[in-house]
Amino acid sequence: MSLPYTALHTFHLAVRFGSLKQTADYLSLTESAVSHQIKRLEAQLGYALFYKSGRQLKVTPEGIKLSTELAQPFDHIDQVLLTKKQNTHTLTLYCLPSLLESWLLPRLLAFKKANPNYDLAIRYYSSAPDYLDEYSLRIGSHENYDSTPHSLTPIFSGETLPVCSPIYLSQHPNLLSLNGLLEADLLHDHSDASWQDWFSLQNKQLIQPAKVIYEDFHLLKMATLAAQGVALCPETLIQQDLLKGTLVSLSHQKGNIGRYYAIEQNRYAHANTHLLIEHLLKS
């Protein structure tokens, strides 16, 4: 069965944008023309590629499988055809707030001095799209079992240590024991899973439910410094706090085993994007 290249490319773009209208605008076509191409492709394949859920366009399981196979070759073709335009394209970085001040910004200042003609856009990690184009990076934490269609470049460990402020420790002197920690005000990042796992490694069971959950490490660290309780914090990101004594480690037992921070990028990232990645890694 011979499938039309144009219809396959249109389908690929519709999955990327999640919208027939945006696909039509990108291709300078009418929305009905895009819809017709996809319907004709579905007729040739013998199964549906999209379905409507309210006002949203959803991809069927069969469509997801086909899209996965098409993504890399079409991304590569798009990059080759648009090389000249990409040379002046803005590079966008989506980064966790906790990494902005301590890790990313100092490296970007050096990069801009060495490459003053490059345009950069810095955005929060939470605003990143599912699909990263050839000029975008996403910098965040990952687990060993994570799967992603993009390329991952590890930058440092995200394994954690239980810490608190000296003030909180002075108010709760029994924190250096496991039983004392079980009774402490435990601060949670996303869920109570990290603390559950940490106690399980030491044959203890955490019974108390999570009372306060913080959206990210940045908020979690602020609460810990403010003597609100004990938190599992990435060791790499609190080295200065431990040296200054503003945070105190309560155990050598690490948590979140296997977690790491990484740069995530399109498998066919533009040469300018690779240049930025290389600079961030060697700084």
The three-point CA angle 46-49-53 to 5° equals: 135
CATH class, domain 5-70, is mainly alpha
Domain locations along the chain:
5-70, 86-153+260-282, 160-249
Q: Is it the case that residue 88 has pLDDT exceeding 70?
A: no
Higher-pLDDT residue of 75, 241 = 241
Model confidence pLDDT, tens digit, residues 96-149: 988 988 899 999 998 998 888 889 999 999 888 888 888 999 999 998 877 788
Average of per-residue pLDDT values in the chain:
88
Confidence at 154, pLDDT banded by 50, 70, 90: very high
* pLDDT at 1 (0 to 100): 54
- Percent residues over pLDDT 70 in the chain: 94
Of 253, 257, 68, which is closest to residue 145 (Cα–Cα)? 257
* CATH number, domain 160-249: 3.40.190.10
CATH class, domain 86-153+260-282, is alpha beta
Judge whether 86-153+260-282 and 160-249 match in fold: yes
